[in-house]
Amino acid sequence: MNQAALTCTNIEVEFDGFKAVNGVDLTLDSGEVHFLIGPNGAGKTTLVDAITGLTRYTGSVTKDGTELRGKKVHHIARKGIGRTFQTATVFEHLTVAQNLDIAAGSGRSPWHLLRQRRHLPDQVVAVMEQIGLDGQAETAAGVLAHGQKQWLEIGMLLVGDADVLLLDEPIAGMGHEERDRTGRLLHDIAATRAVAVVEHDMDFMRAFASRVTVLHAGAVLAAGTVDEVSGDPRVQAVYLGS
């Protein structure tokens, strides 16, 4: 598809005179799983905070021609920019289906949902299947396995119609099989959306990245395919200290 879904231009974030993000340009395209990597303190989270409206910045973030700088967090979310955190933030006492239904914005109360469980919207049913939780519709989110909670959180963004997803270390704490399922899920989602992944795991990146941006000291050190960035001597120097 390859259509710019989100464009960041010259993003700068300053904390008491320290530039945590220093002139970053980044484009997220629909159709790609874009990995944001870099050592601790490189500015990855701060950049995502800026895009999602949690941190003030200079520069510009546009989506579908709309400038998002200065907009409130909920406005940015309504523009279709969804984010997950390392620790999944699901409603633990509600079922998988209820979590998705609330995220879909049905406006129905959890109590109403309890009595209407056979009438889930098609979109909720489809996403439940996509995230591999269709057999767990009635399971309380709190008892899901760690990986399943991450998938549910991603599903909540999907039913909320996010078309740019920013995921913070989605495979942290997952075993091999769950990681592979997550990688395949991200590609499935990216068929019609833009997916950006903040990640430390290089094996996961090699297996699933369509494009990689390497941040270092608040700036873009390298960007390109996995092969391009892994062969870049500047990237090797940062990661291997050579």
Q: How many residues does the chain have?
A: 242
Number of helices (H), then strands (E), in the chain? 10, 10
Q: Does 15 bind ligand ADP (CB under 6 A)?
A: yes
Least distance to ligand ADP from the beta carbon of 76, Å?
A: 18
Radius of gyration of the CA atoms of the chain, in A:
18
115: which residues sit within 8 A by CB, 6+ positions away?
none
CA 240 to CA 150: how far, in whole Å?
A: 31
- 53 interacts with ligand ADP by CB under 6 A: no
The tokens describing 52, both together, are 């999602």
Smallest gap from residue 38 Cβ to ligand ADP (A)? 5
CB 36 within 8 A of CB 197: yes
**Cβ closer to ligand ADP: 125 or 202?**
202
Q: Give whichever of 159 and 197 is closer to ligand ADP, judged by the CB atom.
A: 197
Instruction: Give the interface size with ligand ADP as a residue count (CB under 6 A).
Output: 10
3-class DSSP assignment, residue 227: helix
Q: Is 45 in the site for ligand ADP (CB under 6 A)?
A: yes
Q: Note whether 38 binds ligand ADP by CB under 6 A.
A: yes
Asked if residue 20 binds ligand ADP (CB under 6 A), the reply is yes
Q: Which is nearer to ligand ADP, 48 or 154 (CB)?
A: 48
Binding-site ranges for ligand ADP (CB under 6 A): 15, 20, 38, 40-46
